[in-house]
A and B are shown apart, each in its own frame.
Chain A
Amino acid sequence: MVIMEQQTIIKVQNLHKQYKQMIRHEGKWGGLQDLVNRKHKLMTAVDNVSFEVESGEAVAFIGPNGAGKSTVIKMLVGVLAPTSGLVEVEGRIPHGNRLENAKRIGVVFGQRTQLFWDIPLSESLHLARHMYKIPQQQFKENMLKYSEVLGLHEYMNVAVRQLSLGQRMRAELCAALLHNPRIVFLDEPTIGLDVVVKEKFRSLIRDINEKYHTTILLTTHDMVDIEQLCSRVIVIDHGNILFDGKLDQLKRDFGSEEKMTLEMDSKLDDFREIYELGVKSVEQEDRTLQIVYDNRRVSSSAIISNILSSYTVKDLIVQQIEIEEIIKNLYKNRLT
């Protein structure tokens, strides 16, 4: 199948996933009660989700822990079967055509390893060559390129179980990309990584998205991941899609709040002037000043210049809103 640009590559319609969860009895005799009288609760992990992704897009799934992001990803890669609804990846149903689907996608689960635990990294990557039937030439080129960018040479001969998290995650990304997948699924790939490794990850992912138009689907809690990689954001919570659109729009509509923290030389006597600018709240503790404001109503520079006109500022930080805050705002917005 030839994939042309701007073609729908992922199609999800009215997707549901439910599973049974055992409820344990509490207390001393709880274990015995569980034996005789077992209670189950039907959990809904994904509740009527629909979306489409075009080939070459980079989409971020965001939402709090347990929102259903990973479950959606696991259904897209063919690990889990949907309870009802449709999932199609390149026109195939992943769960029914697991092997065919797996050949054409790359997956990184941030908290698991797909490398072989007891053998050196180089051999583990070599297995990937046979697993995905990668042509020798392509394997060589990709190995050279990715091990260079990700800095894998130093520990190619070390058993995977002896690698540090950062080293292993870099290797995981390499393993997921060697076969030039059409779609790359990244489930919290940057979790627990330091800034340098995160940067390497992002630049490589951006690179394959821009150069090869590889479709990217990413779940993350890191706002920087999204800003640097994805133009489109799908917000999911309690198995529902709350928002699906451009990142700019999401931030404009629900994430325009910013927090400014200032280290002052002296205490402020009154905040009247600052409030007149239209900020939401001002708090002062000792010589630290915290101002929360909506950047659509007042710019950070207006606030700073106002303060600087009468006081000396030692240090200043402007923080953007956290994902969790955006989701809270989305909820408030839905309820009103």
Chain B
Amino acid sequence: MRIYAELAKTAFQSHITFRVNTLIQLFGRLIAVLIQVSIWSALISADRGMTTLEGVVTLQEMITYTLLSTAITLIVTNNMIGQVEQKIHKGEIATDLIKPISFSGLLISESVGISFQRIIFELVPVVLISSLLFGIQSASVVHLLLFLVMVINGTAIYFLISYLFALTAFWYIVSWHFGALFYMIMMVFSGSLVPVWFFPNALSTVAEWLPFRLIFYSPISVYLGKVNGMEIIWMIVQQLIWIAILLLVQKWIWSRATTKLVVQGG
């Protein structure tokens, strides 16, 4: 286990080397938050809020939603599909596989390391600055803790799905289109940009059957106090079921991927 902690530390360190990169990314995030907040402010009346299927949503809730969604993006997302594609495309995979560490473990460690770097250098400043500018709604301790647990589960779900997409590179060498497809589906159905409250009926049924909303929409609804006790437990159970299914699929795909592997470039 020690080695995986060390690998995460290494990924963390190699990412803080590039300071200009970090600064520019931080700036980009702030702009994105500003744009989203401006849109919601134009759409939602400050005193009456907006009526949805799930009841009235206030502007303050929507701003909080935007901030939390940005925070979750910084914690859960990774560039694994691109990374694995590069490893396969250039044949670097050979030097990963001669190491006595699991390939998925290596990828997890790297993305955890990068997440920590982003939490410290992007998430904290973005959330601080934007809550000073726009204000953020507070939550009860119980809701906050449940939110954190659900974000951790969501990270596992996101990791496993992107890992499965990343493994397609073992067959197709090039896999960025799978990455783009995954990212677009995820962005819509997770509620990371627009909450599922605003979805038309058909779309919200689709979202219901996909795992993505469990990464963004569900934890944020819990934070905002939009769902009650039993519903929260059901959401967490769903997260665990998805994790279990994805773990099994991942194991099966990995064993097939390694026999498919062709090392590029001799």
Enumerate chain A interface residues (CB-CB to B < 8 A): 19, 66, 70, 74, 77-81, 95, 98-100, 102-103, 105, 107, 109, 111-114, 116-119, 123, 126-127, 130-132, 159
Is B100 a contact partner of A114 (Cβ separation < 8 A)?
Answer: no
Is A81 a contact partner of B94 (Cβ separation < 8 A)?
Answer: no
B163 to chain A, nearest CB (A): 18
A107 CA / B263 CA spacing, docked (Å): 16
Is A118 a contact partner of B17 (Cβ separation < 8 A)?
Answer: yes
Nearest B-chain residue to A70, judged by Cβ: B266
Is A119 a contact partner of B10 (Cβ separation < 8 A)?
Answer: yes
Decide if B179 is an interface residue (CB 8 Å cutoff).
Answer: no
Partner of A112, one of B91, B100, B261: B91
Nearest B-chain residue to A116, judged by Cβ: B10
Chain A residues with CB below 8 A from B265, complex form: 111
B26 to chain A, nearest CB (A): 20
Is B97 a contact partner of A98 (Cβ separation < 8 A)?
Answer: yes
Nearest B-chain residue to A77, judged by Cβ: B98
Decide if B6 is an interface residue (CB 8 Å cutoff).
Answer: yes
Decide if B258 is an interface residue (CB 8 Å cutoff).
Answer: yes
Known interface pairs A111-B266, A127-B7, A131-B99; 8 further A-B residue pairs with C-beta atoms within 8 A, sorted by A's residue number: A70-B266, A74-B94, A77-B98, A78-B97, A79-B263, A95-B259, A114-B95, A123-B10
Q: Mark B1-34, 1 if CB is under 8 A from A, else 0.
A: 0110011001001100100000000000000000
A79 CA / B3 CA spacing, docked (Å): 21
A204 CA / B7 CA spacing, docked (Å): 29
Chain A residues with CB below 8 A from B98, complex form: 77-79, 102, 105, 107, 114
What are 20 contact pairs spanning A and B, CB under 8 A?
Answer: A19-B262, A74-B94, A74-B263, A79-B93, A80-B262, A81-B258, A81-B259, A105-B98, A109-B95, A112-B91, A112-B94, A114-B99, A117-B14, A118-B14, A127-B6, A127-B7, A127-B10, A130-B2, A131-B3, A131-B99
Is A95 a contact partner of B2 (Cβ separation < 8 A)?
Answer: no
Residue of B7, B102, B258, B265 with most partner-chain A CB within 10 A? B258
Decide if B244 is an interface residue (CB 8 Å cutoff).
Answer: no
A105 CA / B97 CA spacing, docked (Å): 12
Decide if B237 is an interface residue (CB 8 Å cutoff).
Answer: no
A112 CA / B14 CA spacing, docked (Å): 20
B35 to chain A, nearest CB (A): 32
Nearest B-chain residue to A83, judged by Cβ: B259
Is A112 a contact partner of B3 (Cβ separation < 8 A)?
Answer: no
Decide if B61 is an interface residue (CB 8 Å cutoff).
Answer: no
B248-264 at interface with A (beta carbon < 8 Å) = 258-259, 261-263
Partner of B100, one of A74, A118, A131: A131
Chain B residues with CB below 8 A from A74, complex form: 94, 263
Partner of B102, one of A79, A99, A100, A132: A99
Partner of A95, one of B91, B100, B258, B263: B258
A127 CA / B94 CA spacing, docked (Å): 18
Assess A131 versus B263: contact at CB under 8 Å? Given A109-B94, A109-B95, A116-B10: no
Q: Mark B95-116, 1 if CB is under 8 A from A, else 0.
A: 1011111100000000000000
Is B99 a contact partner of A80 (Cβ separation < 8 A)?
Answer: no
Nearest A-chain residue to B173, judged by Cβ: A22
Residue of B10, B93, B97 with most partner-chain A CB within 10 A? B97
Q: Mark B66-106, 1 if CB is under 8 A from A, else 0.
A: 00000000000000000000000001111101111110000
Residue of B13, B95, B261 with most partner-chain A CB within 10 A? B95
Chain A residues with CB below 8 A from B100, complex form: 99-100, 102-103, 131-132
Chain B residues with CB below 8 A from A111, complex form: 265-266
Partner of A79, one of B2, B6, B94: B94
A199 CA / B263 CA spacing, docked (Å): 30
B14 to chain A, nearest CB (A): 4
Chain B residues with CB below 8 A from A81, complex form: 258-259, 261
Is A80 a contact partner of B261 (Cβ separation < 8 A)?
Answer: yes
Chain A residues with CB below 8 A from B14, complex form: 116-119
A299 to chain B, nearest CB (A): 40
Chain A residues with CB below 8 A from B99, complex form: 102, 114, 131
Chain A residues with CB below 8 A from B93, complex form: 79
A253 CA / B104 CA spacing, docked (Å): 50
A272 to chain B, nearest CB (A): 49
Nearest A-chain residue to B5, judged by Cβ: A130
A79 CA / B93 CA spacing, docked (Å): 9
Is A112 a contact partner of B95 (Cβ separation < 8 A)?
Answer: yes
